[in-house]
A and B are shown apart, each in its own frame.
Chain A
């Protein structure tokens, strides 16, 4: 007699399955609800403050009126600078770790260091940037110093996602390519990189996204409380969205709430757009994947 003949046992199994499914569904809903709640709340509160003028004009009257143009531009510049420093270096290091570095205790130590670096609190990066770039290299509180600090913080993410996405490319491709007379570098450039690129891009974007909205690393290295003009050189300090939010939420008495919510909404949109781009790249690559 098999288990299936025993009707009561079968009913028990069905019931368990139903309870399990419901429990998992509920738990996933619970994780999504707070995020949805926050987003909807911010959109609801922030929309009235959003206008063309808000996005394109300088703050006025002690930031209680006017727009947030310098903060938007500042965040854009910082993210761009971070990209320029972190991405070439990080991808190169990732390629080395995935395809060249032999499996030695040294390589393993480096890998552990990279992973640990990703867990270092951002304020520590901020102080590191203050010590190294602002003071030691005498860059002063500047876009350059802040972008480099953000880059140092983003590097571990770029390195490890590059390494991981290159490792997921089937080894057979490497063997076949080499067997057809390709060199190692040709194999990496023509096949491994091409197949790993969507994964790398996704990682890069997610890393940049974190850098774009971090406050602590730029706090001592490049962010300004208020500037009457836009920055004109990489050695100028700049306003930036995350720090601006901190300032208008805690440092300015009599700040209209609409401006606070609208600023947060702008930053969230920034993050959301980057997220959507990353998702599109990933899903398009998955649809095209030939293995």
Chain B
């Protein structure tokens, strides 16, 4: 009899314990999933808010600007660029330091743009983000070069035009120095005179184009793309400049159409074939950015002589 009572008692408890464990397991599983989802949601929302912030950063026709954005918590921004498609894609993802569990939680879902060009390191980190924006004209305005950085830079004996840009923009964390020795300690040095710095800029011709060497890789630039080449990683720069060239080619087709419209109203520019060739050169990967700059200068000179200019 005693054995039977003992058996009945232990089976009930076994049943309760098993069901209790199952409920506990389900509760823990659901709550950890909810936490993970809400974390991803937060990171994604931060990326979307940062993305919306990039719209007002863009300049009007020829202006330039610099901004500092203070973030409530230390944040990592992952900058990715994909050159495929009609205009390529700019993607940003964020990871906000939570202070709990993992130091840097998994980044949220990406926020993508086709019409933005963000030049930076692949990962930018901090509670303050520094931006400056410059328009790129090749020879018409193609887009805005948005530069984002988190390190201190020292420009050693830059050309006068660049020094004026740095002064007028009031770039934070960017110093200008006559000699490398007087640069602040720990800053990334940028040289223009052939001396050995972290980043070396070799200016060509009239000063609007050249080559930027960084991390044993060289990239060519034209106009304000020099800042993109200095502040971003070479792979990212290549991708963003390819995207800008694609947009410039679409704009060349647009101006070609505009030229035909103006011709029907009695003002022939005669630039249709030049614009067609320019569009083809922009999409030709064998042509460097400096080569494109030469075509662009020639187009600008022709346009400036027109009574009904296209751009």
Do A and B assemble together? no
Give residues in B with beta carbon < 8 Å to A. Answer: none
A residues with a Cβ closer than 8 A to B are none
